[in-house]
Every structure is written in C-alpha cells, then in structure tokens.
Structure 1
Amino acid sequence: TAIQARNLKLQLAPCYGATETAGMVSALTPGDFLSGINNCGRALSDVELKINPSSNAIEVRSKRLSSGWINGAKLQQFTNNNGWWCSGDAGQLTITGLEITGRLDWAINSGGATVFPEQVEAALCHSKGVAALLLVGLPDPEWGEKLVALVRIKPGADQQLVIKELCIEANKLPPAERPKKWFLSPQLETNREGKWERKRWLEWAKKKDCEIY
C-alpha cells in the first residue's frame, strides 16, 4: 500500500495513462508522493488535461495520442475535431494534480448520487480478515441501484466479526456508499492480470444466494 511504501521511503511516482495515450500523461513526483499526496500528479510537458463538465470524464490532448483504430478499411479517430480524447475514467484536477475517482462504465447511481465502487473498496478493504472485497450495483426500486459487497474472508478469520467490522467502517461513509448487503464469496478473486472482471461478479451477485449478515 501507499502507507507501507512511504514507511519504507520508496521513491514512487504514481501516474495516469492509457493505451490510447502511449503511456503516462501525468505523474506525481517521488517527493510529493513521500509527502503524503495521493493523486497522479500534473500533466507532462507535452500534454493537456481537462475534465468534461457534464460527465467528469478525463480528457487528454497531446501529439502522443494514437492516430485511431481500424474500423473495417477505415481509420477511426479517437479524438474529436479539436484533438481531445475522452477517456472512460472520471476525475478531478486539483492544485496538486489529477485525482482519479473511478471508471465511468462502472459508476453506480444510488439514491441520486454517483458512486464509484473503487473508492468505496479502498475505504473498506483494510480489515485484517478480508482477503478480497468487490462492490457492484444491483437494481433496486428504492435506490435505483443498491451497492452490494462481495467478500472473501481469510482462512481462520471469524466471518461474523469481519463483517461486523466492515459494517462499522461502512457506516462512516455517506448513505449512498454504504453496501446494502454483504455476500460471502469464497471464490472471489481477480483475473491473471490482477484486474476485476466486474461484469462476471455482477452476474454472480444477481444469481448467487449467499448468506447475508
């Protein structure tokens, strides 16, 4: 974690980038990282960044952007007429740099509030008894979408105690960010690339009749 890296004085430079940008387009300096700043730093010298006011999507303009993708026999451009590429990530620009708030395609509208599961996961995954934790949104007549948590408990840990600790931490969050149900999932894990297959686990959450605490 970032806290462990800082305790070890590791000179890390968190950055933001995508395949379409041919690598990073912003980076935090190691000094700023060690000082406690948690973001992706400022845009590189040949990059412009902005936030779409309607969707909060991160937009990038740079000569390093990909020329496009092949659509049949045509080259389909990624950028608009002004040279801006709109990413699938939401964020905000602060005095210290670019903050990533989450993926737009997995954002959840819960009770009229936009919730990014990644942020809630980061807030809840610190329990010592949690081996893995993933949040997805399920349809709900009252909330529109309700946030539910899939949890894999570490071997030997007290399941009820771990869920109780998670609920205590969740109650510190805004109402829309509090999971409405907790599903125990012994098989919960990322794929070989270390990424969550959220669609797969969303379908699992819809079908699986887990014990709820």
Structure 2
Amino acid sequence: MHDLRVLDPDTSEFMKALRAALDGSGPAVLPVAAGQSAVDMAPDHPLEPDTALIVRTSGSTGTPKGVLLSAAALRASAEATHERLGGSGTWLLAMPAHHIAGVQVLVRSIVAGTEPVRMPRTAFRPKVFTESASDALGSLGPVYTALVPTQLARIVEDGGDALAALRAFDAVLVGGAAVSAATLLRALDAGVRVRTTYGMSETAGGCVYDGLPLAGVGVRIADGVIELSGPMLANGYRLDPTATAESFVDGWFRTSDTGEFRDGVLRVFGRVDDMINTGGVKVAAAAVENVLTAQGNVAEACVVGVPDAEWGQRVVAALVLTGAVDEDELRSAVRAELGAPAAPKEFRAMDALPLIGPGKPDRRALVEMFCSQGGNG
C-alpha cells in the first residue's frame, strides 16, 4: 500500500485510518494539526515501501524530517510498553496526536483493543485534566496516560484534584524532554506512578523506561553518543536518503544525545548541540537546568549559550518562577555543583518557555531573545 492520507489527528476519521494502516487494509497516514501544512512532506510523491505512518520530527535542530514508521515498528513499540507496564489497558490522550508521543497513545489503544479517552485540545489546565481523567479512570482494567514534563510540573504545582487524579493512574509516562529532578521527586513523593521515558520519533516513541531498555531494545554508547536498535526502529526519513544513511547504520540509530551507563542504567545528559563551550570549558545545559529547578520557586529552566566576544559563548538561563528568587543564590548553587563556568551570566523570567514539539523548549527562539534583548544580567 503506497498511498498516503493526510488527516487531522483530532478527528474520528484519523483513528479509523490509523487502524487500517496498522492492519494493512488502508493507506499510510500523516497526522497534520489543524492549520498545519503538509507540503514539506510531499504527500503527492510516491511513498516509500512498508510505511504505515509518517510523523514529523520537532525540528529542534533544523528543518523537520518525516520519519517513516512501519506497522510492525509501531506494534512492537506498543507491545513492549504494555509488557513493561504489566498489561494493556485504557489510555488517556493528554497531548497532541501529530507528534509521536501522542499518536503512540492511539496506537497502544488500538493494539490493546480499548477506546482512548481524549482531553479537549485546548491549553493544558489541571482542571481540564481532572475532568478527562475521571472519564478514563472509570474504565475496567489498568489505566495509563502520557505527559510531557511541563504538564507534570503544572499538575504537581497545582496539587488538589488534579494530583489526586494523576495518582490514580497505574502508570504515567513522562517524556518528550528531560523532566527536572525536583519535579520528578515531588511527583513520586505524592504517590504518582511516574515512568520516565527516553526515545524519539525514530524509535516509535519511548524505548527506554526509567533508564532500562524495553524488551528487544539495544542501547550502546559510541564516542559518548547514544545509539539505539530494536524492532521499533523507523525505516528512515521521507525523501532524504542522505540523512537516512547517516543516522541509520547496520540496524542502529545514532541519536543526537550524549549519555552513559551507570550501574546498568542509562543516563541521558542532553543533546550534543546543547553543550555550551564557554571559555574553552564545555557545559551541559541539562545539568545546569537540573540544579536550577532544584532551587526554590524555579518551576522550569532552559539554559542556552549565546555568542560572546570574550568567552565564545555565554551561559544564560530562561526561568519560569512560582515566586521571588535571588539570582546570586542561583549562581552560587550552580557554581557549587558544577563549577564556576556553568553559572549563568544572565537570567530572564518568563510566564512560559517557548516550546517546539511535545514539551521541548525552543532553544533557538531563546537564543534569539537573549541576543535581541542584550544585557549582562
């Protein structure tokens, strides 16, 4: 089947088309959000063989690519997830389904033979989550959901009914971006059954849970960079044989993330591109973010490097705050944990971080913001 259907994933027609793509009775599908163009995915061009779904990458490092996923890869991912969680169940879709994390909630539901509960596609609010969770939690058997770190942080911060509802889920997958250690600890202490996930569109979603690979998944570190293998691996990129050949080699996908194994558990440090070279010292943005979000009144943090005539790059941080902070104390905390070069030279408080993809901070937008605003903190 080589046809391609472009559909809004929020419609009932999409679920029917996805089911047909998975069982081979219908064409492949490309989920496109309302108002989003499909031109860059060349929907009229002949489709690569063995494709059931095309999902866009977030485009965090450049032009978004179309990831080619087979029905077998999607099913393998769903089945491995259910195996790790202890069985299939009912899923609450709490994020957009044109990204892999959202569409996999629908795939898992199809594989499980259950009907997913969908949150209204409005701005995420704990109250709306509570109402939708109530519908899901009325189902028989296990009940699961998947969130991005920002959603988890808002529910934990809000507390009350939303947190009580989240606590009732048998598992809450959190991925799409790194979750801060502080938010994760608060959620676990509150009794939420959080499972942190690591993966991407090229692996049909999360394939490493709580640092441990799902069944059939291979993980290795090559020159500090994480590489992944397994039956849920994509077939490559839409109409981009060069990028496919560079990233998919001998059954392995080379990610853009650095990491290491510690006591048998995978630790992800962050993207290679997120390393900041300041004065000849390499600083991991994710490490600085973890220190900042562990401080009082810092709900979210995104650390980037901006051009600097003296240092090459200057470490700066955008923060979402829940109260007043002392910038010197924040710098001192980072300095004590990671050394002086990692301490941000400048802070900017924001109501919300700009996002690209499912919960991923738009680092390029933040670099442009700091550059345009200037200042030295």
Sort the TM-score into its range (normalised by shorter chain): 0.7 to 0.9
Tell me the distance in 2 between the aligned counterparts of 1:182 and 1:74.
39
Aligned length: 192
In 2, Cα distance between the equivalents of 1:17 and 1:69? 16
Task: Tell me which of 304, 329, 332 is aligned to 1:168.
Answer: 332
Offset of 1:195 from its aligned partner? 2.6
Kindly indicate whether the alpha-carbon contact (under 8 Å) linking 1:184 and 1:210 is maintained by their aligned counterparts in 2: no
Segment of structure 1 superposing worse, 96-105 or 136-145:
136-145
Q: Could you say which residue in structure 1 is the equivalent of 2:238?
A: 70
State which drifts further: 105-114 or 198-207: 105-114
1:85, distance to aligned residue in structure 2 (A): 0.9
| Shift in Å, 1:188 | 5.2
User: 1:109-124, aligned counterparts within 5 Å?
Assistant: 109-124=277-292
Higher normalized helix content (fraction of residues): 2
1:135 pairs with one of 294, 297, 303: 303
- 8 Å Cα contact 1:59/1:84 also seen in 2: yes
CA distance 1:25–1:202, change in 2 (3 Å): same
CA distance in 2, matches of 1:75, 1:151: 34
- Letter in structure 1 aligned against 2:346: W
CA contact (8 A) 2:257 2:271 kept: yes
Structure 1 pair 73/27, CA: closer, same or farther in 2 (3 Å)?
closer
Provide the residue aligned with 2:262 in structure 1: 94
Task: Determine helix, strand or coil for the equivalent of 1:66.
Answer: coil
Residues of 1 paired with 2:242 and 2:330: CA distance? Answer: 51
Is residue 199 of structure 1 aligned with residue 367 of structure 2?
no
Aligned ranges 1:1-213 → 2 under 5 Å: 1-28=183-210, 40-41=211-212, 43-53=213-223, 56-71=224-239, 76-77=244-245, 78-80=247-249, 82-130=250-298, 132-154=300-322, 157-158=323-324, 162-172=326-336, 173-179=338-344, 181-186=345-350, 189-191=353-355, 193-210=358-375, 212=377
| % identity of equivalent residues | 27
Give the structure 2 partner of residue 35 of structure 1: none
Greater C-alpha radius of gyration: 2
**Structure 1 residue 185: Cα displacement:** 4.0
TM-score (norm 2): 0.46
Q: How large is the Cα RMSD of the aligned pairs? A: 2.7
Cα separation, 2, equivalents of 1:99 and 1:188: 27
Cα distance in structure 1, aligned partners of 2:341 and 2:363: 19
Is residue 147–residue 177 contact of structure 1 (8 Å, CA) maintained in 2? yes
> In structure 2, what is the Cα distance between the partners aligned to 1:72 and 1:169?
45
1:79 counterpart letter in structure 2: F
Separation in 2, partners of 1:58, 1:72: 22
Find the residue that maps to 2:360 and give its secondary structure: coil
CA contact (8 A) 2:228 2:253 kept: yes
When residues 188 and 13 of structure 1 are mapped into structure 2, their CA distance, relative to the original with a 3 A threshold, is closer
Offset from partner CA, 1:32-80 (integer Å, 9 cap, x none): xxxxxxxx22x22311111112xx2110122321111221799945411
Give the partner amino acid of 2:251. G
TM-score (norm 1): 0.77
Over 3 Å counting, the alpha-carbon distance change for 1:116 and 1:23 in structure 2 is: same
- Superposed displacement of residue 127, structure 1: 3.4
Question: Structure 1 unaligned runs (5+)?
Answer: 29-39
- Asked if the contact 2:302–2:318 (Cα under 8 Å) also holds between the matched residues in 1, the reply is yes
AA aligned opposite 2:341:
A
Q: Which structure dedicates a bigger proportion of its chain to strand? A: 1
Where 1:13 maps in the other structure, the secondary structure is strand
Cα–Cα, structure 1 residues 124 and 183, in superposed 2: closer, same or farther, change >3 Å? closer
2-structure distance, mates of 1:127, 1:74: 44
* Equivalent position SS for 1:171: helix
Alpha-carbon contact 2:318-2:353 (below 8 Å) kept:
no
